[in-house]
Structure 1
């Protein structure tokens, strides 16, 4: 890892530490849930144990760089085409939990942020991350999640819930050469068959009416999205209660915690086998 930043070749102040070095410090902060001042002392002790005579960024540098940090999310690719499971969940950024407020009283004001994730079905690695305010729906974030996947990566399927049953989502998924496994809404109507994605969606609507929703979900493999629901539970446990209050810093903090979650997945996941 390059700890110090290379010269930018531009006039003005040159950054002293690289993005990888700043992200490493923020990873320590997010992993142990410690403030910035304690993070600098923790990193300094680690470098001393490693006998590295490197300069340590102070807490103000970490706070300033966190706002504009381009977090690199490491992942382990699968053996075949990507099956991207898409889901979203709410993260409480400010305020106490419902149980705490009910037991101890106090203000019930809470601030929620929305975490959008795209997960690889085979490796259970999170490949795409998006953070928005609570008033942004799931469907508008789907194109941004697909843009985070490299263009040379083949996407086989993109299972998502019924909130993504919009023409834009179907068209974006079809543009990547993937099959959209999205259950139509209960009051879904047929679209004009002007595009291939609209024709495929109309077939899904007819299949739900003729075969039923349960049989169609088994036929299309929609039940595989349960893995995304399980990963969402892990993300909520790790990303709940962030320390940052500024939105840009909050986005960087949640992205760093997602990198920690991917590292946890690399260490090992439980394997369930039926007995009897």
Structure 2
């Protein structure tokens, strides 16, 4: 980190400590994540089978709800499709429900065509949002990188990039996109914002998103949004006539007061919350994708985000910074 204050002496600076104020509720939520309690509502039983088609072609046996239920169980418990089929079959048998269970072949095929029927996340809070955006890499199932590094064998399986937009107040994932590894971050700002229904009060991202296209995409969505993106070291102010834009003000403030003060004034430190969300995704859902086709991988990432939001709703820590008493 080239812009850290006292970078050469930071190993002597004490790490900030936080205290969880709702430990009892948070601990109960963590235990609930591992619960195998499963209930099926009468509405779910009615909608388990796919409605009969009136057009030409074969008749689907399972609805999207049944496919999503099976894929969600496999995502949460980290199982392959065959094991997911066995788990769902055993659970429904123990519950005494005589409903058909999708086999692993059906799950693999339908995962490539699955689309969410409605919004699965909790409603967004009223009022403008503070949106945090970042991306991370997910490995594709298979040897891939190891073969290339160890034996020099070129692999067709590379990486996927998961682009996330997170609500800074709740920590929930409010938008996501899965692309190939060659897709740049600024090009995904507009598709992410298209999934956000509410107005944006502040948009925060790292320096990879710096540039005019990003600013234009954000202001087209919310014309009054405050954009906090650190300009590059070589960034210069635009020569256009007229009042300076937000990017030009950032460049002038950093040149005048330094980058550290600019981060404190703009609240750039909140960007660490999306790093926490990415770490939560990789710890709970996984660092690699199990599906083989790109369409099924998009479904897997989407269901992973939905499941992660449900886990977060079950229990989230409320932390306060520990104040050091002065002697």
Q: How high is the TM-score relative to the length of structure 1?
A: 0.88
Alignment match, 2:61: 16
Closer/same/farther in 2, CA of residues 275 and 223 from structure 1, 3 Å limit: closer
Q: Which runs of 5+ in 2 are unaligned?
A: 1-43
Matched, 1:140 2:187: yes
SS for the counterpart of 2:295 is: helix
Residue number in structure 2 paired with 1:257:
304
Do the aligned partners of residues 29 and 81 (structure 1) sit closer, same or farther apart at CA in structure 2, a change above 3 Å counting? same
Task: State the 1:195 CA deviation.
Answer: 9.2
- Distance in 1, Cα, partners of 2:288 & 2:180: 15
- Supply the distance in 1 between the matched residues of 2:135 and 2:160 (Cα, whole angstroms): 10
1:206-248 CA-partner distances (Å, limit 9, x unpaired): 1111121111111111111111111111122223122112111
Matched, 1:189 2:236: yes
User: 1:140: Cα distance to partner?
Assistant: 0.8
Kept in 1, the 8 Å contact 2:48–2:66? The answer is yes
Report the equivalent of 1:149: 196
In structure 2, the CA distance between the partners of 1:211 and 1:259, relative to structure 1 (3 Å rule), is same
CA distance, structure 2, for counterparts of residue 194 and residue 64 of structure 1? 56
The match for 1:201 is 247
Does the 8 Å contact 1:73/1:259 carry over to 2? no
The Cα shift of 1:7 comes to 4.1
Counterpart for residue 228 of structure 1: 274
TM-score of the two chains, using structure 2 as the length reference: 0.75
Counterpart check, 1:271 vs 2:271: no
Structure 1 counterpart SS, 2:187? helix
Say yes or no: does 1:55 pair with 2:100: yes
1:5 is matched with which residue?
Answer: 50
Distance 1:9 1:216, change over 3 A: farther
Question: CA-to-partner distance for each residue in 1:117-166, whole Å, 9 max, x for gaps?
Answer: 0011111110111111111111111111111112xx12111101111112
How far has the Cα of 1:250 moved from its partner? 1.2
Structure 2 counterpart SS, 1:52: coil
Secondary structure at the aligned position of 2:320 is classed as: coil
Instruction: Give the 3 Å change call, closer, same or farther, for CA 107–257 of structure 1 in structure 2.
Output: farther
| CA drift at 1:4 | 2.3
The yes-or-no answer on 1:33 pairing with 2:69 is no
Q: Secondary structure at the match of 1:228?
A: helix
CA distance in 2, matches of 1:195, 1:60: 61
Q: Give the secondary structure class of the aligned counterpart of 1:67.
A: coil
Mean Cα deviation higher: 5-14 or 182-191: 5-14
Task: Note if contact 2:141-2:291 (Cα within 8 Å) is conserved in structure 1.
Answer: no
Aligned residue for 2:208? 163
CA RMSD of aligned residues (A): 2.5
Give me the whole-angstrom Cα distance separating, in 2, the residues matched to 1:19 and 1:210.
Answer: 56
Matching of residues 68-147 of structure 1 within 5 Å: 68-71=113-116, 74-76=120-122, 77-95=124-142, 111-147=158-194
Could you say if the C-alpha distance between residues 161 and 37 of structure 1 is closer, same or farther in structure 2, counting changes exceeding 3 Å?
same
Q: Which moved more, 1:80-89 or 1:107-116?
A: 107-116
Shift of 1:28: 0.8
| Secondary structure of 1:158 counterpart | strand
